[in-house]
Amino acid sequence: MSLKREIWPSLPLSEWKETYETLHRLTQIVGKIRLALEPLMNHWWNSTLYVTSRGLTTSSMSYENIQLQIDFDFLDHFLVIQTSEDIIRKIPLKPRPVAEMFKDIMYTLGDIDIYVPIWTTPVEVADRTPFEEDYKHVSYDREYITRIWTILFQSNKLFTEFRSHFVGKVSPVHFFWGAFDLAVTSFSGRTAPLHPGAPGLARFVAVEAYSHEVSSCGFWPGGGDIDNPVYYSYAYPEPHGFKESAILPKEAYYEKKMGEFVLPYETVRNSENPDRILMDFLESTYSAAATTAKWDRKALERSSINRSN
C-alpha cells in the first residue's frame, strides 16, 4: 500500500478482527512492562504508548542504572528492544501465537539481564487467557497493521494540533493499550466525583483515571456494539445538557450505551477535507463539554484561537 496515495485507509473491523485481537494483546504485553517499570503518574499516564514515525513506542524507561525502550516497528515489522548500553534485539512480528511472542519477549529481556515480572492476564477484553497460555490469537496481517498505524499517526497529528489550543492541564496524545485507543484529555482543574467503575475495568483504575473533571476524545477501532472504527468524545462527570448539545459534523451522534459522542471513521475518510471534519468534531464536542460544565474557558484556552461556541 502507498501511504501517499491512501492517507486515510479503510479499516473494516470484520476484515482484520483476528489481527486486531492479536495486536491488542501484544501491545498489552509491552504496555504492562512499561507499567511495571515506571512510577505511577496521574491518570495512569505512566503506562501508555506513543505514536512514532515507524509505529508505537514505550519511550525511554528506567531499569536499575540503564534506560530501556521497546518499539513496535510497523514498517519492517519487528519488535525492537534497545538499551542505553547500545544493546539492540529484534523480534519478528509475524503470524504466531501470543504465547510464543510473550515467551520470546521475556527470554530476550532476560538474556540482556532485564527481569520484569508482569501480570499476564489481558485486560478490557472478553477472552482473558493469560499471555503464556494463548495459542488462539496468531494472526498478523501486515496490510492491516500498516492501515491501523497510518490512521494512528494521522490522528496523532490532528490530536496534537487540537491539544495545542489548551493552556490548562492536558494529557499527552497517547495510546492506551487496555482499550486499544489513541486519546487526549483536557482538564478543568476541578476534582470529580468518585468514579463508580466500568465493566471490564478494575474500579481503582477508573478512580485514578477520573479523579478530576475531563473532556476526552480519541480514536478507537471498534468492538462489541460498535462494529467499525470511530472517533469519540465524552465528559466526566457528564454535565447536564451535554448529550443534547449541537455538534459537528452532522454525521456525529450521541451513543447512549457508550455515553459518548461518536463520529464514524468512514465519515472522516470519505470527506473532501478529513482534517477539517475531524477538527470540527474535536472542537465542537470539547466546547459542548466545557460550556455545559461551566469551565473557566478564558483561563484554559488560548485567546488567539477561535473555538466553537
| Boundaries of every domain in the chain | 13-133, 143-300
As a whole number of angstroms, the distance between CA 93 and CA 129 comes to 20
Cβ(138)–Cβ(97) below 8 Å: yes
pLDDT of residue 21: 98
pLDDT of residue 5: 54
Closest CA to 239 of 298, 295, 301: 295
pLDDT of residue 218: 98
Q: Determine the residue type at 21.
A: E
C-alpha grid cell for residue 107?
527470554
Prediction pTM value: 0.94
pLDDT of residue 199: 77
Cβ(49)–Cβ(34) below 8 Å: yes
pLDDT of residue 3: 42
C-alpha grid cell for residue 174?
497517547
C-alpha grid cell for residue 150?
497510518
Cβ(145)–Cβ(72) below 8 Å: no
pLDDT of residue 305: 47
pLDDT of residue 4: 52
Residues forming a β-bridge with 92 = 78
**CB-based burial of residue 51 (10 Å sphere; 0-12 exposed, 13-18 middle, 19+ buried)?**
buried
Measured in residues, the chain has a length of 309
- Per-residue pLDDT for the chain (309 aa), expressed as one digit of tens each? 444 558 999 999 999 999 999 999 999 999 999 999 999 999 999 999 999 999 999 999 999 999 999 999 999 999 999 999 999 999 999 999 999 999 999 999 999 999 999 999 999 999 999 999 999 999 999 999 999 999 999 999 999 999 999 999 999 999 999 999 999 999 999 999 999 988 778 899 999 999 999 999 999 999 988 999 999 999 999 999 999 999 999 999 999 999 999 999 999 999 999 999 999 999 999 999 999 999 999 999 986 444 444
